[in-house]
Amino acid sequence: MTTKWLYRFDEIDEVQQSVDGDWSQVLGLLGGKGANLGDMTRQGIPVPPGFTVTTAACNAYSDADGVMPAGLWNQMVLAIRELENQTGKRFGDPSQPLLVACRSGARFSMPGMMDTVLDIGLNDEVVKGMTAATKDEHFVLDSYRRLIQMFGAVVLGVADEAFETILRAKRQLRHVETDADLSASDLQDVISSFKAVVARQGLAPFPTDPFDQLRMATEAVFDSWRGKRAHDYRVAAHIPHDLGTAVNIVSMVFGNMGTNSATGVAMSRNATTGEARLEGDYLLNAQGEDVVAGIRATKPIEQLNDDMPEVAAQFAEIAKNLEIHHRDMQDMEFTVEQGKLWILQTRAGKRTAQAAVRIAVDQANEGLITKEEAVLRVSPDQIDFFLHPQFSAADLEASEPLAFGLNVSPGAAVGVAAFDADLAERWANEGKTVVLVRPETKPDDVHGMLAAAGILTSSGGRTSHAALVARQFGKPAVVGAAELEIDMVARSFTVGSHTVHEGEWISVDGTTGRVYDGKIETSAPDLENPWLTTLLGWADDFRTLEIRANADDPVEAARARSYGATGIGLCRTEHMFFDPKRLPIVQKMIVAVTAAERREAVEALLPYQRDDFVGLFRAMAGHPVIIRLLDPPLHEFLPSFDELKGQEFDLQLGLVNARDIAGIDRLVDELTIVRTMLERVDALRETNPMLGLRGVRLGLRIPELIRMQTRAITEAAIRVKQEGIEVRPEIMVPLVTFATEMEAARALIEGEMATVFEEQGDDLAIPIGTMIEVPRAALAAGQIAKHADFFSFGTNDLTQTTLAISRDDAEASFLIGYVTDEIVETNPFHSIDRDGVGRLMKMAVSDGRAEQEDLAIGICGEHGGEPASIALCQKLGLDYVSCSAFRVPVARLAAAHAALQPQAKESSK
Amino acid sequence: MTTKWLYRFDEIDEVQQSVDGDWSQVLGLLGGKGANLGDMTRQGIPVPPGFTVTTAACNAYSDADGVMPAGLWNQMVLAIRELENQTGKRFGDPSQPLLVACRSGARFSMPGMMDTVLDIGLNDEVVKGMTAATKDEHFVLDSYRRLIQMFGAVVLGVADEAFETILRAKRQLRHVETDADLSASDLQDVISSFKAVVARQGLAPFPTDPFDQLRMATEAVFDSWRGKRAHDYRVAAHIPHDLGTAVNIVSMVFGNMGTNSATGVAMSRNATTGEARLEGDYLLNAQGEDVVAGIRATKPIEQLNDDMPEVAAQFAEIAKNLEIHHRDMQDMEFTVEQGKLWILQTRAGKRTAQAAVRIAVDQANEGLITKEEAVLRVSPDQIDFFLHPQFSAADLEASEPLAFGLNVSPGAAVGVAAFDADLAERWANEGKTVVLVRPETKPDDVHGMLAAAGILTSSGGRTSHAALVARQFGKPAVVGAAELEIDMVARSFTVGSHTVHEGEWISVDGTTGRVYDGKIETSAPDLENPWLTTLLGWADDFRTLEIRANADDPVEAARARSYGATGIGLCRTEHMFFDPKRLPIVQKMIVAVTAAERREAVEALLPYQRDDFVGLFRAMAGHPVIIRLLDPPLHEFLPSFDELKGQEFDLQLGLVNARDIAGIDRLVDELTIVRTMLERVDALRETNPMLGLRGVRLGLRIPELIRMQTRAITEAAIRVKQEGIEVRPEIMVPLVTFATEMEAARALIEGEMATVFEEQGDDLAIPIGTMIEVPRAALAAGQIAKHADFFSFGTNDLTQTTLAISRDDAEASFLIGYVTDEIVETNPFHSIDRDGVGRLMKMAVSDGRAEQEDLAIGICGEHGGEPASIALCQKLGLDYVSCSAFRVPVARLAAAHAALQPQAKESSK
Q: Does A558 touch chain B (CB under 8 A)?
A: no
Q: What is the pLDDT of residues B742-773, one digit of tens each?
A: 999 999 999 999 999 999 999 999 999 999 99
Average pLDDT over residues B792-803: 97
On chain B, the residues whose CB falls within 8 A of the CB of A785 are none
Residue B213 CA to residue B221 CA, distance in Å, equals 12
Band (A646; pLDDT cuts 50, 70, 90): confident
Do B688 and A806 lie within an 8 Å CB cutoff? yes
Residue B289 has pLDDT above 70, yes or no: no
What pLDDT score does B795 carry? Answer: 96
Distance from CA of A829 to the nearest CA of B (A): 14
What pLDDT score does A1 carry? Answer: 57
Residue B320 has pLDDT above 80, yes or no: yes
Is pLDDT larger for residue B576 or for residue A192?
A: A192
On chain B, the residues whose CB falls within 8 A of the CB of A842 are none
Q: Which one from A58, A102, A571, A860 is the annotated catalytic residue? A: A860
Do B776 and A835 lie within an 8 Å CB cutoff? yes
What pLDDT score does A388 carry? Answer: 78
Average pLDDT over residues A622-640: 93
Strands (E), B77-176: 100-106, 116-120
What pLDDT score does B290 carry? Answer: 67
What pLDDT score does A749 carry? Answer: 98
Residue B563 has pLDDT above 90, yes or no: yes
User: CA distances (Å), A801 to each of A574, A697, A837, B826, B847, in order?
Assistant: 21, 16, 9, 22, 21
What pLDDT score does B292 carry? Answer: 60
Q: Which of B440, B652, B697 to mutate to test the interface with A (most CBs of A within 10 A)?
A: B697
Average pLDDT over residues B536-551: 97
Residue A292 has pLDDT above 70, yes or no: no
Residue A788 CA to residue A767 CA, distance in Å, equals 8
Residue A368 has pLDDT above 80, yes or no: yes
Q: In a 3-state reduction of DSSP, which class is residue A531?
A: helix
Q: What is the pLDDT of residues A218-268, one digit of tens each?
A: 999 999 998 888 888 888 778 888 999 999 999 999 887 778 989 999 999
Residue B665 has pLDDT above 60, yes or no: yes
User: How many C-alpha atoms does B383 have within 13 Å on its Cβ side?
Assistant: 27
Q: Does B907 touch chain A (CB under 8 A)?
A: no
On chain A, the residues whose CB falls within 8 A of the CB of B806 are 686-688, 690-692
On chain B, the residues whose CB falls within 8 A of the CB of A779 are 802, 835-836, 839-840
Q: Does A442 touch chain B (CB under 8 A)?
A: no
Q: In a 3-state reduction of DSSP, which class is residue A764?
A: coil
The neighbour count for residue B174, using CB atoms within 10 Å, is 12
Q: What is the pLDDT of residues A788-802, one digit of tens each?
A: 999 999 999 999 999
Q: Which residues neighbour B367 within 8 Å (Cβ) at sequence distance 6 or greater?
A: none
Average pLDDT over residues B102-110: 87
Residue A268 CA to residue A288 CA, distance in Å, equals 19
Residue of B740, B779, B835 lying closest to A839 (CB–CB): B779
Q: Does B802 touch chain A (CB under 8 A)?
A: yes
On chain A, the residues whose CB falls within 8 A of the CB of B744 are 821, 823
Band (B909; pLDDT cuts 50, 70, 90): very low
Distance from CA of A403 to the nearest CA of B (A): 20
Q: Which of B801, B824, B839 to mutate to test the interface with A (most CBs of A within 10 A)?
A: B801
Average pLDDT over residues B785-801: 97
The DSSP secondary structure of B603-619, one letter per residue, reads: HHHHHHHHHHHHHHHHH
Do B689 and A688 lie within an 8 Å CB cutoff? yes
Band (B341; pLDDT cuts 50, 70, 90): very high
* pTM for this predicted structure: 0.81
What pLDDT score does A420 carry? Answer: 92
Residue of B687, B806, B839 lying closest to A808 (CB–CB): B687
Q: How many residues does chain A have?
A: 909
Band (B908; pLDDT cuts 50, 70, 90): very low
Q: Does B847 touch chain A (CB under 8 A)?
A: no
Band (A352; pLDDT cuts 50, 70, 90): confident
User: CA distances (Å), A625 to each of A499, A553, A613, A764, B688, in order?
Assistant: 47, 11, 10, 14, 32
What pLDDT score does A450 carry? Answer: 84
Angle (deg, nearest 10), helices B380-387 and B888-900:
160
Q: Does A876 touch chain B (CB under 8 A)?
A: no
Whether A277 contacts A104, CB under 8 Å: no
Residue B320 CA to residue A431 CA, distance in Å, equals 100
Q: What is the pLDDT of residues A458-475, one digit of tens each?
A: 987 776 778 877 876 778
What pLDDT score does A904 carry? Answer: 45
Lowest-pLDDT range, A362-371, A650-659, B307-316? A650-659
Band (A906; pLDDT cuts 50, 70, 90): very low
Residue A177 CA to residue A293 CA, distance in Å, equals 14
Which residue in B716, B723, B730 sits closest to B615, CA to CA?
A: B716
On chain B, the residues whose CB falls within 8 A of the CB of A657 are 656
**A571 in active site:** no
On chain A, the residues whose CB falls within 8 A of the CB of B814 are 693, 697, 700-701
Do A737 and B840 lie within an 8 Å CB cutoff? no
User: CA distances (Å), B394 to each of B297, B385, B524, in order?
Assistant: 19, 16, 16
Do B776 and A836 lie within an 8 Å CB cutoff? yes
Do B814 and A653 lie within an 8 Å CB cutoff? no
Q: Which residues neighbour B659 within 8 Å (Cβ) at sequence distance 6 or greater?
A: none
Do B810 and A775 lie within an 8 Å CB cutoff? no
Taking a contact as any Cβ pair under 8 Å apart, which residues of chain B between 648 and 687 contact chain A? Answer: 649, 652-653, 656-657, 686-687
**Per-chain mean pLDDT for chain B:** 91
**Per-chain mean pLDDT for chain A:** 91
Nearest residue in chain B measured CA to CA from A482: B683
Q: What are the two backbone dihedrals, phi and then psi, of residue A337, each rounded to the nearest 5 degrees? A: -110, 110
Question: In whole angstroms, what separates CA A575 from the centre of its chain?
Answer: 30
Cβ contacts below 8 Å, chain A against chain B, sum to 185
Give Dmax (Cα) for chain B: 115
Residue of A653, A697, A836 lying closest to B814 (CB–CB): A697
Q: Does A817 touch chain B (CB under 8 A)?
A: yes
Do A810 and B738 lie within an 8 Å CB cutoff? no
On chain A, the residues whose CB falls within 8 A of the CB of B697 are 814
Taking a contact as any Cβ pair under 8 Å apart, which residues of chain A between 735 and 794 contact chain B? Answer: 735, 737-738, 740-741, 744, 773-776, 779-780, 783
Residue of A656, A738, A809 lying closest to B688 (CB–CB): A809
Residue B773 CA to residue B118 CA, distance in Å, equals 60
Average pLDDT over residues A400-406: 90
Q: Which one from A388, A465, A830, A863 is the annotated catalytic residue? A: A465
Do B824 and A693 lie within an 8 Å CB cutoff? no
Distance from CA of B483 to the nearest CA of A (A): 14
Residues of B designated catalytic = 465, 860
Q: Which of B651, B682, B779, B818 to mutate to test the interface with A (most CBs of A within 10 A)?
A: B779
Lowest-pLDDT range, B112-126, B723-737, B846-860, B862-876? B112-126
Q: What is the pLDDT of residues A839-851, one digit of tens each?
A: 999 999 999 999 9
Whether B52 contacts B82, CB under 8 Å: no
Residue B68 CA to residue B549 CA, distance in Å, equals 64
Average pLDDT over residues B582-610: 89
B514-517 and B790-793 beta bridge pairing: unpaired
What pLDDT score does B646 carry? Answer: 87
Q: What is the pLDDT of residues A502-549, one digit of tens each?
A: 999 999 998 889 999 998 888 777 778 899 999 999 999 999 999 999
Residue A394 has pLDDT above 80, yes or no: no
Residue A811 has pLDDT above 80, yes or no: no
